[in-house]
Amino acid sequence: MAEKSMSLDELVRKLMGDEHADVLRETLAWFVRELMEAEVTAQIGAGLHERSAERTTYRNGYRERAWQTRAGDVALAIPRLRSGTYFPSFLEPRSRSEKALVAVIQEAYVNGVSTRKVERLVTQLGLTGMSRSAVSRLCAGLDEQVRLFRERPLEGQYPYLWLDARVEKVRERDGVHAKALVVAYGVHETGRREVLGIDVGEAETEAFWREFLRSLRARGLSGVELCVSDAHEGLKAAIAKVLGCPWQRCTVHFLRDMLGHCTKDQQPLVSGAIRQIFAAEDAVEAHTRLAEVVVALEQTAPKVARLLREAEDDLLAFMSFPREHWCKLRSTNPLERVNREIGRRSDVVGIYPNDAALIRLAGSLLIEQNDEWLVGRRYLSEESLREVLTRAADAERTVEVTALPAA
């Protein structure tokens, strides 16, 4: 339990940073408003405008109060009653601090997979009075925030796009199914990273990937010069049909896959040989080294040699771009921290009750990550990305001129 509290404390300190103060204050105000309505409903035995034989009194407007928090002042509208009084539980002098309340919000935010779970957390922290319908309203509010994030317009150009997928367990009427959670990340022409899209599908088929990529295009995705991902089924074909740009296969995952096709004794040699390919100074040297490695492995590890030869262009696509971008373009490693955070929450959840719960958890985390990226350091320099886009525009004009009929 101490370990979990420590984790929440760290999360609160992070959320209390200046760059998140407005988001936290708005979320906090929304949460306590819903909490107060739920507590009043439990106290008087009826909801707002609800006819109930169990009603003991009626609401009688609101009284204003400023609530001082470390995220700034939050304006509270505390419900009044015609008879009796109501005082919010989170304002009472008790051992439950503002930090615990923020922890509840965050738990609901990232573990919003079950209204029962959110309600149980509120009960454990002494914030009783939330009915299942009240918790459902909280989740609905988060769903709306995630929906707006997922549907926002994508403005400007995104030269580089990363696509990632992970399998999660989702419960449906006929049992538990493996669903694909897919996420798109991009680098904007200004050099900043962004989370561009998220979706859940039945399986990683070409049709699913096409639909996902088309949804990004419909929202304004443009200027993609390279797409980076692992070798997900049907993805390469979908990229070619929808985006029409080169595909970079993740070199880290490829190397990991190759080690599974050779003996334990061969692994150090194979790993070292393949790494030398990616350490080449330029594309010519890399292709030369790859050819040499293929010849060297044809007798001892023929399957690795064949797969390496077949994947040559996809593994070295990153070398067609500025050298200072290479270390970021040749793998999906830059996304690993985000994936670990999603995975950590999924380990707690186990099985999601529905697709919406999975989108809610992953989407909430990705909104926070996106905010961090937007206020953080540029991932790539704006000047180097301008070079990529200018070169692409020049190449396109050359193709158009070449295609003109002779006079």
pLDDT tens by residue, 27-58: 778 888 888 888 899 889 888 888 888 888 98
Query: Model confidence over 155-181: pLDDT tens digits?
Result: 999 999 999 999 998 888 888 889 999
Question: Is the pLDDT score of 100 beyond 50?
Answer: no
Q: Is the pTM of this model over 0.75?
A: no
Region of poorest pLDDT, from 25-29, 58-62, 192-196: 25-29
Region of poorest pLDDT, from 93-107, 247-261, 294-308, 329-343: 93-107
Q: Give me the mean pLDDT over the 338-367 stretch.
A: 80
* Residue 136 binned pLDDT confidence (cut-offs 50, 70, 90): low
Q: What is the pLDDT of residue 137?
A: 61
Instruction: State the Cα–Cα distance between residues 142 and 144, nearest whole angstrom.
Output: 5
What is the token pair recorded at 194? 């962004």
Q: What is the pLDDT of residue 146?
A: 86
CB 229 within 8 A of CB 247: yes
Domains of the chain: 2-150 (no CATH), 154-249+337-351+368-387 (3.30.420), 251-331 (no CATH)
Question: Is the pLDDT score of 283 beyond 90?
Answer: yes
Q: Give me the mean pLDDT over the 2-13 stretch.
A: 44
Question: Is the pLDDT score of 91 beyond 80?
Answer: no
Ramachandran assignment for 61, one of left (phi > 0), alpha (psi -120 to 50 degrees), beta (any other)? left
Q: What is the pLDDT of residue 218?
A: 97
Question: Is the pLDDT score of 338 beyond 70?
Answer: yes
Strand partners, 274: none
Q: Give me the mean pLDDT over the 204-224 stretch.
A: 94
CB 357 within 8 A of CB 174: no
Backbone CA torsion sign across 295, 301, 303, 304: negative
What is the token pair recorded at 79? 């419900």
Q: Give me the mean pLDDT over the 289-310 stretch.
A: 95
Count of C-beta atoms within a 10 Å radius of residue 215: 17
Residue 12: exposure state from Cβ atoms within 10 A (0-12, 13-18, ≥19): buried
Q: What is the pLDDT of residue 211?
A: 96
Instruction: State the Cα–Cα distance between residues 247 and 231, nearest whole angstrom.
Output: 10
Q: What is the pLDDT of residue 346?
A: 76
> What three-state secondary structure class fits 241?
helix
Neighbouring C-alpha atoms within 13 Å toward the C-beta of 345: 25
